[in-house]
Homo-oligomer: A and B are copies of this chain.
Amino acid sequence: MKGLTDKQSKIYDFISECQRENGYPPTQAEIRDHFRFASLNAVRSHLVLIEKKGYIRLNFGKARGIKLSSSPKLLIRKTKESIPLLGRISAGVPIWAEQHFEDFLPIPPSMFGGRELFALHVCGDSMIGAGIRNGDIAVIKKQDWVERGEIAAVLIDQEVTLKRVFLSADSLLLKSENPDFEDLKYLKKNSDFIRILGRYQGIVRTRNNRYRT
């Protein structure tokens, strides 16, 4: 099965979000409004494509006839109901590469609302203002962009950190939530060694952050 494009992915996520929120899927018009499309057809054609890729099933003609496919083909093979915990990330190697897998959190990904989730140990207290502390396990949704101001896992020179990301025309601003840390600013052109790994979805904090799978 092919992957979704960015736009398709956003639409899928919105549907998924509605589903969780309301217990039923959105109508095409609701999707249109959310994405500020002028036309229903924009929605429609997307849905058809997303269906073709197998992520949803359209109940043609019926109101709110969007069904999320039961197994949104996670790339996780070990166990279906778990989130891979990544260890050290090597720059250059795709994060999804198996060599990074350190462990698996025995938590169904649906709990954190998404496909393609992974988890990381949080090092340092740079996001303490957001209630994220050293040693926590952060759950991240794999994607290479985030909305302005969202918290993302960012790869900076071999190191992964969580930061709030503000992307502007020519630069990338990474803000910590701790007055002791300075903001980082990168010009876009020489930001080769910066990489957004995914969007912060939440945390799990156990007494020692160790467990058995």
Residues of chain A whose beta carbon lies under 8 Å from any beta carbon of chain B: 19-25, 27, 59, 62-68, 81, 105-108, 110-113, 128, 131-133, 136, 139, 201-208, 210-212
Per the bound structure, the CA–CA distance linking A133 and B27 in Å amounts to: 34
Q: Complex formed: what's the CA distance from A19 to B208 in Å?
A: 13
Q: For chain A, what secondary structure do more than half of its interface residues adopt (helix, strand, loop), or is it mixed?
A: loop
Give the chain B neighbours of A23 by CB distance below 8 A: 19, 24-25, 66-68
CA of A128 to CA of B131 in the docked complex: distance in angstroms? 7
A-B contact pairs, 22 of them (CB 8 A): A19-B23, A20-B208, A20-B212, A22-B67, A23-B24, A23-B25, A23-B68, A24-B64, A64-B64, A106-B107, A106-B108, A107-B107, A110-B212, A113-B207, A128-B131, A131-B131, A131-B133, A202-B204, A202-B205, A202-B206, A203-B203, A204-B205
In the assembled complex, the Cα of A106 lies from the Cα of B79 at a distance in Å of: 14
